[in-house]
Amino acid sequence: MRVLIPGIGGVLGQRVARRLLEQGHEVIGIDRRPWPDAPPGIELHNVDIRKRAAEDVFRKRRPQAVIHMATVTHLVEKTAERYKINLGGTRAVFEHCRDWGVEHAIFVGRHTYYGAAADSPLYHKEEDPPMAVTTFPELSDLVAADLYACTALWRLPNMVTTVLRMVYTLGPTGHGTLATFLRGRHVPMVLGFDPLFHFMHEEDVTTAICLALEKRVQGVYNVAGPQPVPLSVVVRGTGRTPIPLPEFAFRAALGRFGLPRLPPGALAHIMYPVVVDSEAFRAATGFVHQVDEVRAMEEFRNAFPVRG
């Protein structure tokens, strides 16, 4: 199959591309970021997904499937630019899919879509509303991109659309929001709170995305691997030291004393859980995770040992 991956330059994009190449697919990538050591079989286009040149790739290469991974989180881009990439980019991808006869589009979203709150249920189902818009306004563009991708399910009936809501990634590449939060020696926690964190190994993330392509599943799916674990266990399991701070002190200390810089809304995600039920995805694709939570933490710990 000819597969186009917008956002191929990211860590996950590269992994998915390599895996698909191994499986004998023809892989084309679009990204503003370079990928210097890309395997020779992968065709790269160094263009912005929102620009005309990107449409030309669709026009000339006519991919059968598209895996849209060109979304960014608050940790990468400033707000205005990020909104453009996440919303404008997603719109462009789906419009090109419509115009150039793509058979299957996969949107790779995030489980933080559901948001963290004191009254958020354990194990979100796909039909749960996106509370993230109130709990963590900085994520609203990702929520909107996710919902926009969902509209393709009824707007583009001739195409198979898959919306994946993936839990946090954790593994030796240190990629992702959770890994970034855990990078330092000390990890701040809010005193008296220790929510469950749901994450899976990057290898399993890759497998899940490739399975969604292979099985051509239509619809919205939560994707998770092993069971969630409390944040304190994640922190200790990765060899870090938890620093419990009262809520007010926490707000004041962010970005100082070697603590990570986080937007205020992120606090809810350290106080309350976001965990998802991935039963539907497993049933539809036969996905089984290979790496359990213990090994995922160990691999991250070994790749990013605490200095000193």
Partner 1 sequence: MSLLIDPEIAARVDRLELPFNAYGVDPYGASKKHLARLFTLLRFFYRHYFTVGVEGMEHVPVRGRAMLVGNHSGGIAIDGAMVITSCFFELEPPRLAQGMAEKFMAQTPFMGLLATRGGQLTGLVETAEHLLHDERLLMIFPEGARGTAKLYPERNTLVHFGSGFMRLAMKTGTPIIPFGFVGGGEAIPTIANSYALGKLLGAPYIPITPWGVALPAPVRLELTYSAPMRFEGTGTEEDEVIEGYVEQVKQRIAGLIEVGRERRRKALAWSRGAEDEARIEGETGGTKEEQR
For partner 1, the binding residue among 37, 192, 261, 308 (CB under 8 A) is 192
Q: Which is nearer to partner 1, 188 or 226 (CB)?
A: 226
Half-sphere exposure of 139 (CA within 13 A, CB side): 26
Strands annotated E in the chain: 2-6, 26-30, 43-45, 65-68, 104-110, 160-166, 168-169, 186-190, 196-197, 199-200, 219-223, 229-230, 241-245
Does 255 participate in binding partner 1 (rule CB under 8 A)? no
Does 190 participate in binding partner 1 (rule CB under 8 A)? yes
Buried b (16+ CB within 10 A) or exposed e, 274-303: bbbbbebbbebbebebebebeebbbbbbee
For partner 1, the binding residue among 13, 63, 188, 228 (CB under 8 A) is 228
Cβ atoms of 132 and 140 closer than 8 Å? yes
Does 269 participate in binding partner 1 (rule CB under 8 A)? no
For partner 1, the binding residue among 233, 253, 280, 284 (CB under 8 A) is 233
Q: Which is nearer to partner 1, 59 or 125 (CB)?
A: 125
Does 252 participate in binding partner 1 (rule CB under 8 A)? no
Q: Which is nearer to partner 1, 148 or 197 (CB)?
A: 197
Question: Which is nearest to 20 in space by CA: 2, 40, 44?
Answer: 2
- Interface map 68-107 toward partner 1 (x if CB under 8 A): ----------------------------------------
| Least separation in angstroms between CB 302 and partner 1 | 17
SS3 304: coil
| Least separation in angstroms between CB 232 and partner 1 | 10
Q: Which is nearer to partner 1, 230 or 263 (CB)?
A: 230
Does 274 participate in binding partner 1 (rule CB under 8 A)? no
Does 248 participate in binding partner 1 (rule CB under 8 A)? no
For partner 1, the binding residue among 229, 253, 259, 280 (CB under 8 A) is 229
How many Å separate Cα 237 from the centre of its chain? 22
For partner 1, the binding residue among 141, 146, 194, 299 (CB under 8 A) is 194
Cβ atoms of 11 and 202 closer than 8 Å? yes
Cβ count near 25 (within 10 Å): 19
Strands 186-190 and 241-245, by their bridges, are parallel
Contacts of 100 (CB under 8 A, 6+ apart): 55, 58, 59, 62, 63
Q: Which is nearer to partner 1, 44 or 131 (CB)?
A: 131
Task: Return the structure tokens found at 118.
Answer: 């004191």
Question: Which is nearest to 264 in space by CA: 280, 277, 251, 274?
Answer: 251
| Least separation in angstroms between CB 226 and partner 1 | 8
- Interface map 112-151 toward partner 1 (x if CB under 8 A): ------xx-xxxxx--x-----------------------
Residues found near partner 1 in the complex (CB under 8 A): 118-119, 121-125, 128, 190-194, 196, 226-230, 233, 237, 246-247, 272-273, 277, 292-294
